[in-house]
Chain A
């Protein structure tokens, strides 16, 4: 075991994938010589050359469509959107082509779309969004949202081996965090397996990505208050492992759904609906959703801080539910 950043874990994983599978290549804006806006692909162009570490012009539609074409032709492209916000520009190709290829045309599309998400760096309203909600309702796209380096590595390997379009979310605030990481890469991990990362009997907290890091901090505080939090880290949103969520809810009877992004229309609204469908009789309290206000992410640190659920809010919410 060693401690490395998410960035380093992703880079090592990409390196291994590129080395063992010659059909893979990485494509995106400033991912070659520059090494990517967040440094994930740094150094790869020296090893694999500019054909496989392919810088593109600022053309999100074309780079997405081009990757889909290469995928259908038998390659395994891994593309990067510099910020997830820019995925809006490539969305037509993802929604109207990539997501339709297998179910409608019967053609596999092995494509991985990496996208740095989230607020917390003061980048402003067009560089800070969490837009997985846009794709969550589009059948045909898998969505992966790891919360730590080992999961990220294991899930990225699975994503590249998958024969479908996979949206791979990397939260910007997780990049510099050091996580325990095995000396050798972890093995690939199947999609659709949530993990209970903290066990407790009093309240279930459902989260993914960076929100799981917050949930863990909240759980530590709650433990000192004598409240046990069961944290379900979803790891993938599509497929969605409701079984693990429901099992936890059956024990605790109380649920907090954590989500970064506006409360209206969030992914957690769907999860809430499913809990009500499947485990209503186990609920001792109404389900609580902690999300962001229905407002674009502001740039000023003081304002931005109000646009993401905080550890204190989670703790307060859990205390209210227990009281």
Chain B
């Protein structure tokens, strides 16, 4: 139960983080752009709960949740959004470019399928090193249309790499509904031409995500990879800041909110014996974390605006 409550707290932390990000943008306290993952928290928390510390994860442009679930510190993610020196990339990266390899998080990436080949490289290294590491490479349904993804699938299948291409199918590539963008909307089948097994799971169900990923990771470790995993979900938030969401109806969104993964997780935990007080404690802890994160970010110093350009090379 402790682990489950931790995962629940992670999900709430991500939700509150993303809500805060949207608010901070509206208030003009954070600039640039950010893509929030409201409605997709069970995926981040479920995957993270299934991974071992030595495993690797690559993420997308919509990566705050993945990073926080994997162990990224919310205050340093927030500081990055504020463009502060204490951010993971010292303010250079912004929302889409953060990495902490020490916790196996190999980066959000501003190019939607831009991490898929990179993930194959991490997996190749793991295989050559005879390491138990497996790689979770997350991408979206929209990114699953990019050519590099198919080249990566072929390479991964050819070399039997321990990588799980995990597609967050949230129904929309920015404004383009999957039916308008994908010739076959079942993204689990995207590896068919390469004989890669495709698995589909309910991405709003923490337990389905965790257990499916856990099984695939074990299979990948024993040399049965790669895999394609489709996690069906719904992006309750807009694509990015300022998205008027003209491409879908409010009724559709209201219906989707009924499947809010956090409510479902809370229900499931209650069924397993969690008390309302325990859940409320998680919520309060998450809220405090976000408050602290904002305070930390706002009080952090700006990055060195003169010396930064001299650090181009390693």
Chain A residues within 8 Å of B, Cβ to Cβ: 51, 56-57, 59-75, 92-93, 96-97, 100, 102-110, 139-140, 142, 163-164
Give the number of residues in B that approach A within 8 Å (Cβ atoms): 38
Contact between B114 and A92 (Cβ–Cβ < 8 Å)?
A: yes
Contact between B148 and A73 (Cβ–Cβ < 8 Å)?
A: no
Instruction: List 6 contacting pairs A-B, 8 Å CB cutoff, sorted by A.
Output: A62-B116, A69-B124, A74-B125, A104-B89, A108-B314, A110-B314
Contact between A65 and B148 (Cβ–Cβ < 8 Å)?
A: yes
Contact between B155 and A70 (Cβ–Cβ < 8 Å)?
A: no
Stretch from B25-33, B35-43, B90-98 contacting the other chain: B90-98
A57: nearest chain-B partner, CB-CB: B154
Contact between B111 and A97 (Cβ–Cβ < 8 Å)?
A: yes
Return B164 CB to nearest CB of chain A, in Å: 15
- Which residues of chain A come closer than 8 Å to B119, judged between CB atoms? 69
Interchain CA distance A62-B111 in the complex, whole Å? 14
Query: Pick the contact of B114 from A59, A67, A71, A97 — CB < 8 Å?
Result: A97
**Beyond A59-B151, A92-B111, A105-B99, 12 extra complex contacts between A and B, CB < 8 Å:** A51-B128, A59-B155, A61-B147, A61-B151, A62-B116, A69-B119, A70-B125, A93-B114, A96-B114, A102-B311, A107-B101, A142-B313
Contact between A69 and B93 (Cβ–Cβ < 8 Å)?
A: no
- Which residues of chain A come closer than 8 Å to B152, judged between CB atoms? 62, 65-66
Contact between A93 and B313 (Cβ–Cβ < 8 Å)?
A: no
Contact between A61 and B117 (Cβ–Cβ < 8 Å)?
A: yes
Interchain CA distance A52-B199 in the complex, whole Å? 32
Contact between B125 and A65 (Cβ–Cβ < 8 Å)?
A: no
B155: nearest chain-A partner, CB-CB: A62
Return A219 CB to nearest CB of chain B, in Å: 34
Return B120 CB to nearest CB of chain A, in Å: 5
- Which residues of chain B come closer than 8 Å to A65, judged between CB atoms? 114-118, 120-121, 148, 152
Query: Pick the contact of A97 from B89, B92, B118, B155 — CB < 8 Å?
Result: B118
Contact between B124 and A70 (Cβ–Cβ < 8 Å)?
A: yes
A164: nearest chain-B partner, CB-CB: B313
- Which residues of chain B come closer than 8 Å to A96, judged between CB atoms? 110-111, 114
- Which residues of chain B come closer than 8 Å to A103, judged between CB atoms? 92, 311-313
User: Does B106 lie at the interface of the complex (its beta carbon under 8 Å from any beta carbon of A)?
Assistant: yes
Known: A105-B97, A163-B314. A68 touches B118 (CB 8 A): yes
- Which residues of chain A come closer than 8 Å to B115, judged between CB atoms? 65
- Which residues of chain B come closer than 8 Å to A92, judged between CB atoms? 111, 114, 148
B110: nearest chain-A partner, CB-CB: A96
